[in-house]
Chain A
């Protein structure tokens, strides 16, 4: 990294909204011709049930380490200028951003591909949890990306292993009894890059 290339990782305590403009400004640079962003927001329903809010918690110091490791990994795979990743904790109401990624690069292909990589890796390996709250109950969600990666995590290179990480064929349907597995996350996905493509079924 040259001195002007920067990485910012923030886990925001509850009731602190994510200031999208701040992170976009952070990665903006004269030499970068592209800025790619991903915003994950609380969706209003899951399998027909009305969702009131999502409640997030994190193993904060480890989550920050994991995200930084993912950012380093992204830099080793693509030519990037700056990276900003923010994740909110606590309750996040419908329509509001819970996770935001902004990446700048000289050329757009690097920024777009790296942005998808970072959100996919974040969902697979960063120790953050969300509970989906309905009018009549709540459930801890499980990312399908994690369940696929679970057996690899304790081994070397389990986290942020680069864009050529291969998933082993453990297509589990979730392993915690009757609990709901999330396909594609409990968030709606707004992205300036690709659509969401992580669904299993």
Chain B
């Protein structure tokens, strides 16, 4: 994803720190899936965005997620992550509402 910075503006992109963006995949499980109506979706965010930034974008897009925001956790590429982690191109970000296995 390094390389040329295109002059074209990306749709719905806030101005990135480096003017470039990364594409990630977002997964929704259980209550998060019920609230968004989606089990997964692609998402484009500015380079250098954190998992927290991604979550903010998601809550803006799906305001109903606010309901579980205080109790969910995030996983990046199949591992639990802090919200400060920076997402990279092709990363998989999972929205994990309270689990209830067993």
Contacts and interface: CB of A to CB of B under 8 A. Distances in A.
Q: Give the interface size class of chain A.
A: 35 or more
Contacts of A147: 71, 98
Contacts of A141: 100
B24 interface: no
Contacts, number: 108
A159 B96 CA distance: 14
Residue of B78, B85, B100 with most chain A CB atoms under a 10 A cut-off: B100
Interface residues of B, number: 27
Nearest to A181: B98
Interface string A148-168: 001001110011000000000
B101 A122 contact: yes
B19 interface: no
A182 interface: yes
A98 B100 CA distance: 12
B100 A182 contact: yes
Contacts of A159: 80
A133 interface: no
Contacts of B58: none
A176 B100 CA distance: 13
Contacts of B29: 57, 59, 127, 129
A51 to B, nearest CB: 13
B73 to A, nearest CB: 5
A129 B99 contact: yes
25 contacts: A57-B29, A57-B30, A58-B101, A59-B75, A59-B96, A61-B78, A62-B75, A65-B78, A87-B101, A122-B102, A123-B101, A125-B99, A128-B99, A128-B102, A129-B30, A129-B100, A130-B100, A130-B101, A131-B30, A140-B97, A142-B100, A143-B101, A175-B70, A175-B98, A182-B100
